[in-house]
Amino acid sequence: MNMLYMRETNKSIDQVGAALERAAKERQFGIMTIHNLRETMQKKGIEFNRDLRIYEICNPQQAKKVLEAEPNISTALPCRISVYRADGKTKLATIRPTVQLGMFERKDLEQIAKDVENVIIAVMDEAAKEGS
């Protein structure tokens, strides 16, 4: 299994972002923040011409469960979905939560990671779907 889950679409980055927010909310997940890396880099005086945004997505109930069991998992939360343009398409990418959890060797939390991963994949699939 690939550590990344990726999708691509003909939609604009703004369209994908709006669709991500809708799809996440429908599944009781929220977008905690959006990092616009081009704007952030420019504010620091660094020219960065790629439009690249990182959406931090979380379900508070699931986060609470894993953080109570293993506080070090906070280094991998919230989950992130990158959205950027490449090769004439808008790309969406995330590190699979099951892969991230594997770094912590907590078998007891595998089902939560699988559940979260399934939702994130569904959110990304819906956001990438043409016409949505």
**pLDDT tens digits for range 1-38:** 699 999 999 999 999 999 999 999 999 999 999 999 99
Mean pLDDT of 56-81: 94
Any bridge partners for residue 31, and if so which? 57
The domain of 86 spans 4-128
> Residue 22 sits in a domain of what CATH number?
3.30.310.70
pLDDT tens digit sequence for 101-117:
989 989 999 999 999 99
Mean pLDDT of 84-98: 96
Side chain identity at residue 19, one-letter code? A
pLDDT at 129: 94
C-alpha to C-alpha distance for 94 and 58, rounded to whole angstroms:
13
Task: Tell me what the pLDDT averaged over the chain comes to.
Answer: 94
Q: How many domains does the chain have?
A: 1
